[in-house]
Structure 1
Amino acid sequence: MDYINDLSQKWIPSFSVSSHLYSRKREIINELRESCGSIVNVPVSRSALRIEERNQSAEALTKALEKGFELSFNRDCSRCRRSKGACGYNNTLGGFVCYCINESHKHTCEKNGLTKPEKIGIGFVCGFLGATLLAACLLCFYIRRRKKLAAQYTNKGLSATPPTSISRSNHALMPSSISNLPNRSVDYGVQVFSYEELEEATDHFSRELGDGGFSTVYYGILKDGRAVAVKRFFEKSLKRVEQFKNEINILKSLKHPHLVILYGCTTRHSRELLLVYEYIANGTLADNLHGDQAQSRPISWPGRLNIAIQTASALSFLHASGIIHRDVKTTNILLDSNYQVKVADFGLSRLFPPDLSHISTGPQGTPGYVDPEYYQCYRLNEKSDVYSFGVVLSELISSKKAVDITRSREDINLANMAISKIGNDSVHELADLSLGFARDPSVNRMMISVAELAFGCLQQEREARPSMDEVVKVLREIQKEGESDAPGVVEVEVRSGDEAALLNHGVPPVLSPVSEKETSGSNTTTTSSSSRTRKSSF
């Protein structure tokens, strides 16, 4: 409805020309507009408009204005409200506008791009999917690597050997009763045992004989009655498989009376890696020098010298075969019921090509026995075994451990202690006096000679050390000179089959003299007992 102010300053109502009811008055209204001083447009409701149509009076006009009018949102305003904006009208643009928090927009506060929460949500989802994909890739890589390692376990030089190719050398060392056993499957060229069979033989691995850095050894009895030592590796890794295979390859192809006999092993597909050796009754040399057996049954000096010769001959044989033991120590020297040596544990051994002066490899071995040049320069050759054997000789002379933190700082390492004492002509400070060093001139001379040999083996420079062939030769000469100084006839009480066996083998009694009443000038040893005595010449 339009309100027209005429010249007499009266308000004259007129209706919008947009109304179809008053289109006939369009010309009149236009003429009135031209004569008005001002025009005011006031929206009214349709119901108020109808009242004004029926009664065109000032009172009707007032009521129409008081009744007001209704508004409804158009489509743009609805969108604006949904986007949390305020609807409005822009006079400049002459159209609808949506007022938002930051600025005005034409239709809505929603931007064409993504909102910040949407971006965060999308980023989170993408990150989660990326992490899941990465984890899946790593899992696939891990599984493929495990399969590859498993393939290496079974394929990297670990092919089975036909049943007819059991090593002749290993077979020749076995007792005839073992050779006559029914044929069994073989792997790596040796007899194969099942894990369950060895688990039963060792009473579920409950009879432990000893342990080392990589394995534990258990006592067992097989169904055929054989007493065996079962070596059980701590883990089934590629490194342990290599050591497992190394021992088998060395022992199945070498024949020597002072190398331990390998009876067999578990298959490469077994749940654990197990090696089966002959059982050596008297344990390790370390047990007999430092353990309980050292107190109850000490080994005499002639017996120790014989052990040194047998160990040296075994190492000399290995070197001649192109093999470096790399872990020579008293715990790897076993003694059977006749106190004959059996060198064991070839897990760290290496083949040594004859055309090379050394092998470059990371130092491995046992503290106290490792060649210092090998430790410092990572260069391994057969003289590294010579150094370790020098430590063994020092233990045989002194009955001391290779490493003992209870000793004074400079003497913790027996090798250093031996070098110092022998170099200062103080062998008596190193020697185990209970062996007869002070009371028996023959023992005194032999121990001093062996100490000088140990001194040569323990030299820092490899070139100054003797070879194992030379060591064997010197030890046999020392033994021969000692026997020539010994009495021609010695009366020895024979109490058991072990001592008789020792005498039959020409080996001096292993028991050290325990009575200080003996004199160095005595030519015979007499024992008074109801047991019989026999004479034996040395």
Structure 2
Amino acid sequence: MFIVKKLMRGRRSSRRMNIVQITLFLWYMSAVASEETSLAKPDCSSQCGLVTQIPYPFGIEDGCYLGDWFQIMCDNSTNPSRAFMNVTGLEVLEISVEGTLKVKSPITFSNCSNKPVGRQTPNLEGSPFVFSQKNRFTSLSCGGVALMTSLDGSTIAGCLSICDYTSTSYLRTKSCIGMNCCQTTITPYLRSFSTSFGALLLNADRQTCKYAFLVEHDWFTSNSTNVSAIGEMDYVPMVLEWHVFDLNYTKSDIYGTNNWRDDKSTECSSSQCFCSKGHHGNPYLLHGCQDINECDDPGRCGSGICFNYPGGFKCQLPDQRSSRVTLAIIVPSSVLGLLFLLTGIWWAHKVIKKRKDMKRKEKFFRQNGGLVLEQQLSSGELNVEKVKLFNCKELEKATDHFNADRVIGQGGQGTVYKGMLADGRIVAVKKSKIVEGGEVRQFINEIVILSQISHRNVVKLLGCCLETEVPLLVYEFIPNGTLFQYIHHQNEEFPLTWETRLRVSIEVAGALSYLHSAASFPIYHRDVKSSNILLDEKYRAKVADFGTSRSISIDQTHLTTLVRGTFGYLDPEYFQSSQFTEKSDVYSFGVVLAELLTGQKPVSFMRSPESRSLATYFLLSMEDNNLFAILDAQVMKDGGKDQIVAVANLTKACLNLNGRKRPTMKEVAVELEGIQLSVKASGVQQNFAEVEYDQSQITEPWYVSSLSTGSCMDSGTSSSFFESKRDSIYNPIIHTKRQA
């Protein structure tokens, strides 16, 4: 009405309106539109931390809420403050006057280490709240069923997930697709239930960690959390519906007066209230619904004049002459004012954005270990000449903004993308996981270690970037994939012949031997496996992924750490004692040798329970003189019997459960080279000595146990392998060479 009266008064007088008036009016209208109307009771708090609106009937202070069910407790001891429902204790995330309430839903765990047992969703019986059908009952397990049961024990809902041990693609997805994860809808007006688990599929492991929860139905797709990360959480968002009249409140109770009939802007149903058409605000406050001024929309009436009234509006077309005069004044003035306003906003936005970008980069630099890296630079540990600091824009352009189509690998330390730098070099960019404050040194560790390594069979580090949310490492690009792919997925263009397998094993052994004994400080890789061995353009081996590696002083014999590694490759002795030695890398390399010989995976549920570990399966086969029954067909086709047996005996030595009896990597490399040279040797004897192996050492397969971070115990220094077993373990190939 203000704008209409202003225009009509202008027509009756000189019909003049200057630019300053128009500009001030537009500024005033934008300021009014940006103000948020409080939905709380007068003189009551309407915000708690990130919950920006706490509308009545909810409230914090006494007299600000309708009843105990609607009381909100604001915990100011945290930063930011957190809001909780007084009766249920659920943490509040969002409250809507339209009858919904978003809270944190507890996850119910079963057989999960370091997780509470028996947690259930609170009982809402007798409350004004019900579980919304916008939620989905979700279960994450391998071949297990999760059930929702009522208080009397009857089943309300449930779902069964399909178990898949071979694919890991579901771990990267942001949706529950039924593979190791399932969802189902819930019944209406549900106020209580309990969660239970069971295993139905034949191959389902009843001891596997299982968890279920009630969650907002579009949460999987609307946030950046992968399915694999949910197990680390304790809560997920859930939607409740609230119905005031379910507790027999009257309108007089809600509004605190009998004069509510005078308020025509509010309407109520049998369960809740809402604002009448053309109004917005809080329908639970007297006169809390305010008229919507539809005339704020400049194009509402086109060339006509907009008249607003409570609950609606109407348009009136002006006479042609006055319309032309008005448009001749208003349009240029509005355009100039708008241009002036937009120019100011654009300039302010650029300045603010630039400052924010600089602060974000500084924050990420510190968060990703920039200060720690500077300390390494000043101390001289880092080879500055070999490591370049890239900027984030350069790497974003190189990887097409980290396009999913550029992903060439993904592991426990992060995701690897293929990229091309401005100078045309093809590189591999490793986008690490988000670095927590206490784990900064683990990321910088990989930079420091790789800067010290100069070996043709180790992936070269080109540089890093620390000014992004997650740290980035840039490596030379290795084009021909991983050794794991060639072993377990036969390639007709490049068959993995016996000669190639022997050459690759020698190259990897040489690289590990260099790390253990030839580097400036001994370096333990700690995650030796075939998927961390890459093949370059000439199919030469390159050892990669040093994220969990450790360098130690020369006088140290072992490293006491939390147990980390990959099932199937993990040294049982390290698993039990938490003490990692160079012989732990030897054990993992022995598993890689067993893969090359047999073509089988390190862990397979297709084998019997006692032989699911390839290491155990290989050792038992040799104990039963059944080696040639488990060898890969390509190995049988190309390899000589003497060489195969020699490598098998060496593999057996590497897999010895007693770390002291294993050879060093240097000794392994020398023996493999000797076996390779024996290809041209003649008159090789056929009698081969066997490695002593104590059958009593085979116990329950260690890989099915959960990782333990218990107290660490000292272990003795490993003795030389060849001093104790040289004459009794290795084959006559080496012995014949010594005699000659």
TM tier, shorter chain? 0.5 to 0.7
Deviation at 1:275, TM superposition (A): 0.7
Q: How does 1:496-515 map to 2 (within 5 A)?
A: none
Report the equivalent of 1:469: 666
Report the equivalent of 1:358: 558
Report the equivalent of 1:198: 395
Q: How does 1:307-456 map to 2 (within 5 A)?
A: 307-320=504-517, 321=519, 322-435=522-635, 437=636, 443-456=640-653
Deviation by residue 1:118-168 (Cα, 9 ceiling, x = unmatched): xx889x9xxx999554245879xxxxxxx9995783433544848x99837
Alpha-carbon separation, structure 2, partners of 1:210 and 1:152: 22
Partner amino acid, structure 2, of 1:374 = Y
Structure 1 311/220 Cα, relative in aligned 2: closer, same or farther at 3 Å? same
Match of 2:474 among 276, 283, 308: 276
Is residue 2:469 matched to residue 1:253? no
Is residue 2:492 matched to residue 1:288? no
Match of 1:155 among 371, 385, 396: 371
Deviation by residue 1:305-325 (Cα, 9 ceiling, x = unmatched): 010011001101111131100
Deviation at 1:424, TM superposition (A): 2.3
Q: How does 1:157-196 map to 2 (within 5 A)?
A: 157-159=373-375, 161=377, 167=383, 171=386, 190-196=387-393
Deviation by residue 1:76-122 (Cα, 9 ceiling, x = unmatched): xxxxxxxxxxxxxxxxxxxxxxxxxxxxxxxxxxxxxxxxxxxx889
Structure 1 300/223 Cα, relative in aligned 2: closer, same or farther at 3 Å? same
Q: Give 3-state SS (helix, strand or coil) of 2:454's partner.
A: coil
Report the equivalent of 1:43: none
Deviation at 1:236, TM superposition (A): 2.9
Structure 1 328/272 Cα, relative in aligned 2: closer, same or farther at 3 Å? same
Alpha-carbon separation, structure 2, partners of 1:262 and 1:149: 19
**Count of aligned pairs:** 335
Does the aligned pair in 2 maintain the 1:195–1:272 contact within 8 Å? no
Partner amino acid, structure 2, of 1:241 = V
Structure 1 274/318 Cα, relative in aligned 2: closer, same or farther at 3 Å? same
Report the equivalent of 1:232: 431
Higher helix share: 1
Alpha-carbon separation, structure 2, partners of 1:485 and 1:221: 50
Partner amino acid, structure 1, of 2:511 = A
Report the equivalent of 1:134: 77
Report the equivalent of 1:491: none
Q: Give 3-state SS (helix, strand or coil) of 1:316's partner.
A: helix
Superposed CA RMSD in Å reads: 3.3
Report the equivalent of 1:523: none
Report the equivalent of 1:100: none
Partner amino acid, structure 2, of 1:432 = D
Deviation at 1:302, TM superposition (A): 0.8
Report the equivalent of 1:506: none
Deviation at 1:473, TM superposition (A): 1.1
Report the equivalent of 1:303: 500
Does the aligned pair in 1 maintain the 2:589–2:654 contact within 8 Å? yes
Does the aligned pair in 1 maintain the 2:434–2:469 contact within 8 Å? no
Deviation at 1:194, TM superposition (A): 1.6
Q: Give 3-state SS (helix, strand or coil) of 1:294's partner.
A: coil
Structure 1 483/203 Cα, relative in aligned 2: closer, same or farther at 3 Å? farther
Match of 2:675 among 478, 487, 509: 478
Deviation at 1:404, TM superposition (A): 1.9
Does the aligned pair in 2 maintain the 1:449–1:478 contact within 8 Å? yes
Partner amino acid, structure 1, of 2:479 = A
Does the aligned pair in 2 maintain the 1:371–1:388 contact within 8 Å? yes
Q: Give 3-state SS (helix, strand or coil) of 1:203's partner.
A: coil
Q: Give 3-state SS (helix, strand or coil) of 1:393's partner.
A: helix
Is residue 2:412 matched to residue 1:213? yes
Partner amino acid, structure 1, of 2:443 = F
Deviation at 1:263, TM superposition (A): 0.8
Higher Cα radius of gyration: 1
Structure 1 348/138 Cα, relative in aligned 2: closer, same or farther at 3 Å? farther
Alpha-carbon separation, structure 1, partners of 2:642 and 2:526: 31
Q: Give 3-state SS (helix, strand or coil) of 2:589's partner.
A: helix
Alpha-carbon separation, structure 2, partners of 1:353 and 1:260: 23
Report the equivalent of 2:108: none
Is residue 2:657 matched to residue 1:460? yes
Partner amino acid, structure 2, of 1:394 = A
Structure 1 404/129 Cα, relative in aligned 2: closer, same or farther at 3 Å? closer
Alpha-carbon separation, structure 1, partners of 2:364 and 2:73: 27
Alpha-carbon separation, structure 1, partners of 2:530 and 2:476: 18
Alpha-carbon separation, structure 2, partners of 1:311 and 1:325: 12
Does the aligned pair in 2 maintain the 1:149–1:238 contact within 8 Å? no
Q: Give 3-state SS (helix, strand or coil) of 1:482's partner.
A: helix
Deviation by residue 1:240-272 (Cα, 9 ceiling, x = unmatched): 533321111011112111111111110x33232
Alpha-carbon separation, structure 1, partners of 2:590 and 2:453: 24
Partner amino acid, structure 2, of 1:156 = V
Does the aligned pair in 2 maintain the 1:202–1:221 contact within 8 Å? yes
Structure 1 136/344 Cα, relative in aligned 2: closer, same or farther at 3 Å? closer
Structure 1 148/203 Cα, relative in aligned 2: closer, same or farther at 3 Å? closer
Q: Give 3-state SS (helix, strand or coil) of 1:263's partner.
A: strand
Structure 1 263/478 Cα, relative in aligned 2: closer, same or farther at 3 Å? same
Deviation by residue 1:378-426 (Cα, 9 ceiling, x = unmatched): 1111110000000000011111111122333233211111111122222
Partner amino acid, structure 2, of 1:290 = H
Partner amino acid, structure 1, of 2:401 = H
Structure 1 430/136 Cα, relative in aligned 2: closer, same or farther at 3 Å? closer
Q: Give 3-state SS (helix, strand or coil) of 1:241's partner.
A: helix
Alpha-carbon separation, structure 1, partners of 2:368 and 2:478: 34
Alpha-carbon separation, structure 2, partners of 1:278 and 1:203: 18
Q: Give 3-state SS (helix, strand or coil) of 2:77's partner.
A: helix
Structure 1 residue runs of 4 or more that deviate by more than 6 Å after TM superposition? none
Alpha-carbon separation, structure 2, partners of 1:443 and 1:342: 26
**Scaled by the length of structure 1, what TM-score is found?**
0.57
Give unpaired runs (5+ residues) of structure 1.
Answer: 1-119, 140-146, 172-189, 487-538
Q: How does 1:11-160 map to 2 (within 5 A)?
A: 132-135=75-78, 150=366, 153-159=369-375
Does the aligned pair in 1 maintain the 2:498–2:634 contact within 8 Å? no
Alpha-carbon separation, structure 1, partners of 2:570 and 2:505: 18
Alpha-carbon separation, structure 1, partners of 2:658 and 2:471: 39
Alpha-carbon separation, structure 2, partners of 1:411 and 1:231: 35
Structure 1 428/196 Cα, relative in aligned 2: closer, same or farther at 3 Å? same
Structure 1 327/260 Cα, relative in aligned 2: closer, same or farther at 3 Å? same
